Amino acid sequence: MAELIAIVGAESTGKTALAAALAERIAHETGLACTWVPEQLRLWCEREGRTPHPHEQAAIADAQRDAIEAAAAAHAVVVCDTTPLMTAVYSRMLFADDSLVAAAAAFQRRCSATLLTALDLPWVADGLQRDGPQVRAPVDALIRELLHAHRLPWSLVAGSSAERVENALDAVAPRLRTATAPRRGLFTRLAERNASDRPWVCELCDDPDCEHRSLNRGR
């Protein structure tokens, strides 16, 4: 069964760029057959020339799930540029509709890792999907709410484009250790990095693994 790596996050937080780069790095550094699945909402909006109506949300969530499952049938690792969870998030936020949440959470539970893209990248306008920078924080909060409500583990991915890829690799490597990889470059490198890490104490909370560590890394 393929390992699914889900990338979720608010608009203009680098999900697509991260998905493509992460899939390329995993394939190159491990030798595993790895691909990424694009966001079906974007493809739908480009095809229809508009954003979806409430009654069209379920079909978009199904299309995202089906695209991921098709890729999983032919690859060992699939990086998902969003999952049905994001459709459920926007259905709740825009249409006060929670009907997609249960199925989306069930699918999300199948993912080996869920990466939440941080809000530290500047907002960039990009076609029909972009509602504005003021929407990012509420979307981010709702994603976290649903992940916590359904007890779905996740990792925050922050930093510049290059740093995001490295942080994502750090997050997914433990989940992929059970996969058989012809090359060990990724996991060997990460093991060496982890061994050299010094203990870090957050000044803002009591959690040594909180997101403030990622956001402060490299400053």
CATH code, 3-216 = 3.40.50.300
Q: Which residues pair with 7 in a beta bridge?
A: 81, 115
Q: Which helix (H) or strand (E) holds 104?
A: helix 101-108
136 contacts 119 by C-beta, under 8 angstroms: yes
Tokens of 193: 């990095």
The residue ranges of every structural domain in the chain are 3-216
Average pLDDT, the chain: 84
On the question of pLDDT at 211 being above 90, the answer is no
Give residue-wise pLDDT tens across range 165-194: 999 998 998 877 655 555 444 454 444 545
Residue 136 has pLDDT above 70, yes or no: yes
Residue 119 contacts residue 126 (beta carbons within 8 Å): no
Burial class (CB in 10 A: 0-12, 13-18, 19+), 95: middle
Q: What is the pLDDT of residues 13-67, one digit of tens each?
A: 999 999 999 999 999 888 899 999 999 998 998 898 888 999 999 999 999 999 9
123 and 139 in contact (C-beta within 8 Å)? no
